[in-house]
Amino acid sequence: MTKTIMLVCSAGMSTSLLVTKMQKAAENAGTETDIFAVSASEADHSLETKDVDVLLLGPQVKFMLDQFSQKVASRGIPIDVINMTDYGMMNGEKVLAQAEKLILENQSIDPV
């Protein structure tokens, strides 16, 4: 089953490189993923049109965590801020692992 991972940053530029690194890590692990990055202003549209499994915020928009947490709470989408070091190093493997951990934790508390 494909996991959809949405990254949100201020403009969507720097995060696109991280998406590429995460896709490569997922490919190497044999994991089916749909990973994409959007700017904070485009995030609402993506949340409405895509079935997102996890939402990760870039460190530069971590001040928006509460705002996004409220938006995704009713949909049961886990959310977190990407570790600043992993983001700065563009460590696709670690950020992918962070996303997968959030999805697993969310599934274990999901009553369905």
| Per-residue pLDDT at 111 | 55
Average confidence (pLDDT) per 10 residues, the chain, 112 residues? 93 85 96 95 94 96 96 94 96 97 85 52
| Per-residue pLDDT at 13 | 72
Active site residue 9: yes
Active-site option among 5, 6, 9, 26: 9
**Domain containing 46: what range?**
3-109
Q: How distant, in Å, are the alpha carbons of 29, 36, 47, 94 from that of 50? A: 24, 11, 6, 24
The answer to whether 92 and 20 have CB atoms below 8 angstroms apart is yes
* Pairing of the two strands 33-39 and 54-57: unpaired
CATH number, domain containing residue 31: 3.40.50.2300
- Looking at residue 93, the DSSP 8-state letter turns out to be H
| Per-residue pLDDT at 12 | 63
Tally of domains within the chain = 1
